[in-house]
Copies of this chain bind each other. A is one copy, B any other.
């Protein structure tokens, strides 16, 4: 009775690969693995019911995934229900691992995540990277990667890919850092500097943070706006469970949305950008504090103690954020706005003014704002999980081809 509205790409032109039987098999393998992964543990019959294939078909698919070491048979379930109990299947804890890495302004971090989503190895190193050349920084990161990979391999894990989160804009090629103001890197291809043993993805930390929220956050919807802030204000737009990247890969630049068109000039060339009000530097200045290590902790601490000027600075930042987010919410109609990264820790003092602004400027119910529970781990976990999602999304590609 109702024709489907045009929100997805057309099935004809959009799909790159020809629709052949091998492709069908491939997608069904992915569907089975996805279903088991999402539920944690599932019988063949339950998988069949869930993905719409017959039990017989699922059986052969499961056999293949077990043969590849991606699924494990846990043994008979113990249900209270009538009928023969199913044999529980679970994603294997050995086999492919996702290696996630993060380049921060003052730290490097690497972790390995298995197919089940568990962190199996990690390494962190605190280093002041601001203004340091890409070569040495990435060299140091590579050391950590090798260390984590060695540890993972000792646990029978095999890296399936490396994903690197970077505090800056990354081109759509997934390897070139176009602009990272806080590191002072420009147009740097990181691929030659990193180990070439596995598929590589480089992406904005805000994007990986949003993906972590999408995949790991409790009750996170499939359409939301994720706002994080590490010095700059990065946002990521998640639409129907996927990242909106933009033509050049620069989507989500919330920091330079004009908030007060005649406000103070911004290095970007504009005036009154959000970053001039809610950026780290701006907030510190407004609070009368000098830039130093761990500014977020400093601000949170002072605010906690009741420091009036810090609280006022954060309140004003919340107002500016609220104005920018009103525009974004009007444009995108997301289900929620999620505050992550540094903003999560400062949310108690940002939220009141932010939500006031959002409420007063919206006809009807305003877009709900939630706070991420992932803390500062988001981007790193998102990076590692993005590799795992790649395996889940096309297991056949990992095994051969």
- Which A residues fall within an 8 A CB radius of B? 1-15, 17-21, 24, 27-28, 30-35, 38, 51-53, 161, 163, 172-175, 196, 199-201, 203, 211, 221, 223, 235, 237, 239-261, 267-271, 273, 323-324, 326-328, 330-335, 360-363, 386-387, 389-390, 392-394
Contacts and interface: CB of A to CB of B under 8 A. Distances in A.
Nearest to A254: B331
Nearest to A267: B363
A199 B268 contact: no
Given A2-B173, A245-B5, A268-B362, A19 B28 contact: yes
B252 A331 contact: yes
Contacts of A243: 5-7
A5 B201 contact: yes
A115 to B, nearest CB: 14
A11 B30 contact: yes
Given A19-B24, A256-B361, 15 more contacts: A2-B201, A3-B161, A5-B174, A7-B243, A9-B242, A10-B241, A11-B27, A12-B31, A12-B34, A15-B31, A223-B246, A223-B247, A254-B331, A270-B360, A270-B361
Nearest to A210: B6
A231 to B, nearest CB: 16
Contact of A221 (B223, B247, B360): B247
A371 to B, nearest CB: 19
Contacts of A203: 5
Nearest to A362: B269
Contact of A261 (B27, B175, B211, B260): B260
A18 B239 contact: no
Given A24-B21, A393-B10, A327 B258 contact: yes
A323 B261 contact: yes
Smallest CB-CB A-B distances: 9 pairs = A246-B333, A12-B34, A18-B52, A270-B361, A257-B327, A268-B363, A3-B199, A251-B333, A253-B330
Contacts of A270: 326, 360-362
Contacts of A326: 256-258, 270
A175 B1 CA distance: 11
A15 B53 CA distance: 13
A123 to B, nearest CB: 21
Contacts of A362: 256, 268-270
Contacts of A52: 17-18, 20
A248 to B, nearest CB: 6
A240 B323 contact: no
Given A19-B31, A241-B14, A235 B331 contact: yes
Contact of A269 (B12, B331, B363): B363
Contacts of A9: 240-242
A254 to B, nearest CB: 6
A70 B14 CA distance: 21
Q: Which of A1, A13, A253 has the most CB of B within 10 A?
A: A13
6 contacts: A5-B243, A8-B242, A19-B31, A244-B332, A256-B362, A273-B361
A273 to B, nearest CB: 8
A250 B333 contact: yes
Nearest to A8: B242
Contact of A239 (B196, B199, B239, B393): B239
Contacts of A245: 5, 7, 333
A174 B2 contact: yes
Contacts of A2: 173-175, 199-201
Contacts of A387: 3
Contacts of A327: 257-258, 324, 327-328
B328 A331 contact: yes
Contacts of A328: 327, 331
